[in-house]
Amino acid sequence: MTATDDYLANNATYADSFHGPLPLPPAKHVAVVACMDARLNVYGALGIAEGEAHVIRNAGGVITEDEIRSLAISQRLLGTTEIILIHHTDCGMLTFTDDDFKASIEKDTGVRPAWAAEAFGDLEGDVRQSVARIKASPFIPHKDQIRGFVFDVATGKLKEVS
Amino acid sequence: MTATDDYLANNATYADSFHGPLPLPPAKHVAVVACMDARLNVYGALGIAEGEAHVIRNAGGVITEDEIRSLAISQRLLGTTEIILIHHTDCGMLTFTDDDFKASIEKDTGVRPAWAAEAFGDLEGDVRQSVARIKASPFIPHKDQIRGFVFDVATGKLKEVS
């Protein structure tokens, strides 16, 4: 049995009490962009119910071209207007540098990634960087409700980055 | 009150019963890549608890450079070895074409995105495309446990794509 098999067994239980389908557009008109971190359950931490919000996640919760793509689809085709950005304490992205990570991959595989790893040294600074990247994009129409937070993995609390 | 404010009120309730911090590496050694769709609560649908799995999400649940970046960090730095891919029925990505979406953006803003929108016409085919992209990447070391699914937004059930 793999962990994937365990999760499939859980899915059968979930489906037993599932009621669908809900409408496609997010009912709360919100898109969340958060780190992929295992300790950050965005449904729990924000009390998001099924059907309410888009959830976009990656290593760091950073804004790259693919998050701009997702946010453009979210706002332009599916009616979201608010963006919530979430980084978190004790993030893995604080523990390495792009140069070291890429050199390590090159050493192991012979191929150096052409992409940035997006490691960062300043948690709140990188939340502000994410806001700045969204504001700089011509493809995101709604930019007046973008708020950035740091989730504390010790307390479960969100702190707004001002 | 914005929807974001409502979610912040929910967070205070969540933090009241939160116990942390958990270790940084995912306890189940799993990374999930899923669509951002509002109706797909991956914590509920898979029964994922805090601390267990990385969750990566975007429009479509597709694999682009940024998902390769996240998966490389997940596997190489944080010890995950299994990948679960989840697309879903009634996906917004089935409702438009890259050409039309990008022409619409160009018409509104004067700027044509240099990126692919990653719309697709075949749900299970795109799950297989995601598997193929991961398998083709030199940056992902663990490729023997990659499984792809379609989540049914009417029933809550996952169906494996073979």
Q: Write the pLDDT tens digit of every residue in B53-67.
A: 999 999 999 999 999
Q: Is the residue at A145 inside a domain?
A: yes
Contacts B25 to A, Cβ<8 Å: 38
Q: Is the residue at A12 inside a domain?
A: no
Question: CB within 8 A of B96, min separation 6: which ones?
Answer: A77, B117, B119
Q: Is the residue at B116 inside a domain?
A: yes
Q: Is the residue at B118 inside a domain?
A: yes
As for how many domains chain A has, the answer is: 1
pLDDT tens per residue, range A25-46: 999 999 999 999 999 999 999 9
Compare CB distances from A30 to B4, B25, B41 and report the shortest one's residue: B4
pLDDT > 70 fraction of chain B, expressed in percent and rounded: 100
What is the arithmetic mean of pLDDT over B139-148?
Answer: 98
Note whether B52 and B27 are within 8 A (CB).
Answer: yes
- Res B33: pLDDT: 99
pLDDT tens per residue, range A134-156: 999 999 999 999 999 999 999 99
Closest CA to B56 of B90, B97, B85, B14: B85
CATH number at residue B59: 3.40.1050.10
Q: Is the residue at A14 inside a domain?
A: no
Compare CB distances from A43 to B41, B72, B93 and report the shortest one's residue: B41
ipTM of the complex: 0.98
- DSSP H or E run through A125: helix A123-136
Q: Is the residue at B109 inside a domain?
A: yes
pLDDT tens per residue, range A49-62: 999 999 999 999 99
Compare CB distances from B39 to A20, A45, A154 and report the shortest one's residue: A20
pLDDT(B100) > 90: yes
Closest CA to B37 of B111, B88, B99, B85: B88
CB contact under 8 A, A92 and B73: yes
For an interface test with B, the pick among A1, A2, A6, A7 (most B C-beta atoms closer than 10 Å) comes out as A7
Q: Is the residue at A1 inside a domain?
A: no
CB contact under 8 A, A8 and B158: yes
Closest CA to B58 of B69, B71, B49, B67: B67
- DSSP H or E run through A148: strand A146-151
Token pair recorded at residue B49? 């608890």
Contacts A39 to B, Cβ<8 Å: 20-22, 24, 50-51
- Chain A to chain B, count of Cβ pairs less than 8 Å apart? 273
- Give the Å distances, CA to CA, from B22 to B16, B49, B77: 16, 11, 17
**Distance to chain B for A103, nearest Cα, Å:** 12
Q: Is the residue at B124 inside a domain?
A: yes
Domain containing B93 equals 23-160
Distance in angstroms (rounded) separating the CA atoms of residues B4 and A9: 33
Contacts B22 to A, Cβ<8 Å: 38-39, 153
pLDDT tens per residue, range A71-129: 999 999 999 999 999 999 999 999 999 999 999 999 999 999 999 999 999 999 999 99
Closest CA to B28 of B50, B11, B56: B50
Compare CB distances from B139 to A22, A96, A113 and report the shortest one's residue: A113
Token pair recorded at residue B48? 């994922």
